[in-house]
Structure 1
Amino acid sequence: MKKYAFLLLPLLAAACNSDEQITTTRIAEPVARIVEYTPAPGQFINERNALSGFAGEDTPQAACAYAQRRLNEGAYVSLGGWGGYIVAAFAAPVPATGDYELYVAGNQMTTSSEPGVVYVAQDTDGDGSPAGETWYELKGSEFAAADRNYRITYRRPSADGDPVAWTAVDGEGATSAGEIGRIGEHTQAYYPAWVDAAELTFRGTRLPNNIAEGEVDDQGRPVTAWIAQPFAWGYADNYSSIDRQGAANRFRIEDAVTADGSPANLTQIDFIRVQTGINDWRTRIGELSTEVCAIGCYRTVTTAE
């Protein structure tokens, strides 16, 4: 497993009974393995080109291997439309420090943020799997305005070239419907090829729409501005001025909350999940899919020299 130097914090001290110097260094450590990759349908899913990098993956295991290879290369992994997600495991528990302990790198730009919600879990039964564990959302700046009980179902189209229809139910029980339509040169099937089920349902937190307001067409879709605005902090693939460092957004375990929004007070975590957070069907640019280029944690390493 590769480890990358991130931020050097030298603390030099003479050993008690030798001339050794103790150096403490903070490193960025990538996740050890991809546990699950289940994107929602989207314009980059299954796309066999150098940009998206798919090669006909048709099993969940092959999809995980694809995602792992892409992250190893620093290439993006698209999570598709709202709800699509990736789950990863750390090599060892990541302790809570009160500082930034986690990071997720994306491909955000000043005019394009596609925020993803981050969740964490502990390996309470010690079996190395997040199955059956409780997931805790990391609270971000839009927490109060978000719908934390959103549900969406995508239906496999009868033909690969057809749009992917979806229906959703929000936290108040109101329903909505739409489709992920065909976008330009993205002509492949949008529904994940390794998902056998005819319907794909996701649950989680839906963030507020972030496309800039402006002139709209007769369906209420913006036509003069395609600025996907960033949120203040707390989300992946988000051009934040607070938690972004380069391409990475940084996260604190202390921001984890329970289902009712109370602090989770976690002392450490073992797993991380990133999930597309926007479902803005007003746009003509396709789904606002969270892209992930790296996932990892920060650790403090002490060496004697």
Structure 2
Amino acid sequence: MRPQYIQRAFTALALIASLSFAACKSDTPTPQPQPVFPKPDVNPNATPYVTRVLEYMPAVGQFTNTLPEYEAGDTQEDMNRKALEYLKDNQRSLVTLGGWGGYIVVGFDHTILNVPGKRDFRVLGNAFFGNDNKEAYEGGSCEPGIIMVAYDANRNGLPDEDEWYEIEGSAHVDHTKEPWYTLVKTKVPGADLNFYRDFEMTYHRPAQEPESKDGWGTYIRWEDNKGNSGYKVKNQWHAQPYFPQWVKGDKLTFRGTRLPQNSQDQSGVGTYYVLYKFRYGYADNELNDRKDSTIDIDWAVDKKGRKVHLPGVDFIKIYTGVNQENGWLGECSTEISGVNDLHVLKEDIPN
């Protein structure tokens, strides 16, 4: 081969190599810089319990308007105040969040610190276990609520929209790895086991309350942004309206993450429903005295699922994570009875 041809061949190969490298380089995600947060203030007289309820907005549910109780004329501010009465000073009274999307936003008189390698706060609920199938995973009444956290970086005393991050629980990481996933997939026809980060659901206020049980099955209509629709069912145990009565409009729309359905009728005849436990990272999903009712702030992720290291949190939002009806038990509805700062309580729980 002539020298000039050899030189041209080497030039062409070098060009191809550089283009290939550039293509590979463009496929590699650019590392995202971590937000820079100011150091948290320290309150030497901090209480470990909830001191504020900034917003309480349950979805439709059998305990809505009763936990806490709605009274004629109550406003949003009244219901916020009533929810706080249930949660403050370690009262441990149950506040319902209703069906999927219903939420509460709570605050504290201090920043809950993010201590490396430790769990930072505990969410109290009313989960319990009652599972006749000993071969199955732990379950009973586990109604998981998704947890969001916000650090008050600008010190305005409010959780601004750009300050919210979601706690990445086990189903966020891989919902197919939940120990009960295959069981529900094979034993519960029609179970919706999808995990959605972009879920939206609308509930419609009924024109009137049903006059007889004939209207219970088509009580409150809903639809989601995945092409599904149905009804929230009324049951014999709770006669009050299930649509939050202080809301002025004719519909309620919620947006967020939706978890897979976790329920199985073990009896096969509609008498024994078991709601299985997710591994970790959710409210009302584990017994209150167990480790996995506690949360590590370092599990927080942004809207794209990227880890965020917060110095602490000032506000916590909890919303019902599953859209599910469970026969005579009614809808899956997260309930909470408190949020406690583990560090103020001197509870040392390692990851």
Q: TM-score, normalised by structure 2?
A: 0.69
How many Å separate the matches in 1 of 2:306 and 2:337?
Answer: 30
Q: Which residue of 2 aligns with 1:24?
A: none
Q: Which residue of 1 aligns with 2:19?
A: none
Q: Which residue of 1 aligns with 2:57?
A: 38
Q: Displacement of 1:207 after TM fit? A: 0.9
Q: Which residue of 2 aligns with 1:219?
A: none
Q: Displacement of 1:223 after TM fit? A: 2.5
2:266–2:274 Cα contact (<8 Å) kept:
no
- Residue 79 to residue 301, structure 1, CA distance change in 2 (3 Å): closer
Query: Is 1:140 the counterpart of 2:161 in the alignment?
Result: no
Higher-Rg structure is 2
Q: How does 1:63-142 map to 2 (within 5 A)?
A: 63-72=79-88, 73-98=91-116, 99-110=118-129, 111-142=140-171
Q: Which amino acid aligns with 1:123?
A: D
1:121–1:135 Cα contact (<8 Å) kept:
yes
Q: Displacement of 1:133 after TM fit? A: 3.5
1:32-86 CA distance string (max 9 Å, x none): 2111000001111113xxx754444621101111101112332100000000000
**Which of 176, 186, 204 is the matching residue for 2:228?**
176
Structure 2 counterpart SS, 1:269: strand
1:105-147 CA distance string (max 9 Å, x none): 0011001111101100121222111143331111111113331
Structure 2 counterpart SS, 1:175: coil
Structure 1 counterpart SS, 2:77: helix
1:154-174 CA distance string (max 9 Å, x none): 1111113361111011xxxx3
Q: Which residue of 2 aligns with 1:207?
A: 259
Q: Which amino acid aligns with 1:103?
A: R
How many Å separate the matches in 1 of 2:154 and 2:209?
Answer: 41
Structure 1 counterpart SS, 2:200: strand
Q: Which residue of 1 aligns with 2:330?
A: 286
Q: Which amino acid aligns with 2:126?
A: N
**Which of 190, 194, 211 is the matching residue for 2:242?**
190
Query: Is 1:239 the counterpart of 2:286 in the alignment?
Result: yes
Q: Displacement of 1:281 after TM fit? A: 3.8
- Residue 139 to residue 296, structure 1, CA distance change in 2 (3 Å): same
1:39–1:192 Cα contact (<8 Å) kept:
yes
Runs of 5+ unmatched residues, structure 1: 1-26, 217-221
2:100–2:319 Cα contact (<8 Å) kept:
yes
1:223-251 CA distance string (max 9 Å, x none): 353011111111111126xxx52598110
Give 1 or 2: higher helix fraction. 2
Q: Displacement of 1:185 after TM fit? A: 2.7
How many Å separate the matches in 1 of 2:79 and 2:344?
Answer: 32
How many Å separate the matches in 2 of 1:108 and 1:154?
Answer: 25
Percentage identity across aligned positions?
Answer: 34
Give 1 or 2: higher strand fraction. 1
**Which of 220, 235, 252 is the matching residue for 1:164?**
220
Q: Which residue of 1 aligns with 2:76?
A: 60
- Residue 89 to residue 248, structure 1, CA distance change in 2 (3 Å): farther
Structure 2 counterpart SS, 1:61: helix
Q: Which residue of 1 aligns with 2:29?
A: none
Q: Kindly tell me the number of residue pairs found equivalent between the two proteins.
A: 262
Q: Displacement of 1:285 after TM fit? A: 2.4
Q: Displacement of 1:286 after TM fit? A: 1.6
How many Å separate the matches in 1 of 2:227 and 2:290?
Answer: 38
Query: Is 1:264 the counterpart of 2:264 in the alignment?
Result: no
1:77–1:291 Cα contact (<8 Å) kept:
yes
How many Å separate the matches in 1 of 2:102 and 2:53?
Answer: 15
1:139–1:255 Cα contact (<8 Å) kept:
yes
- Residue 223 to residue 86, structure 1, CA distance change in 2 (3 Å): same
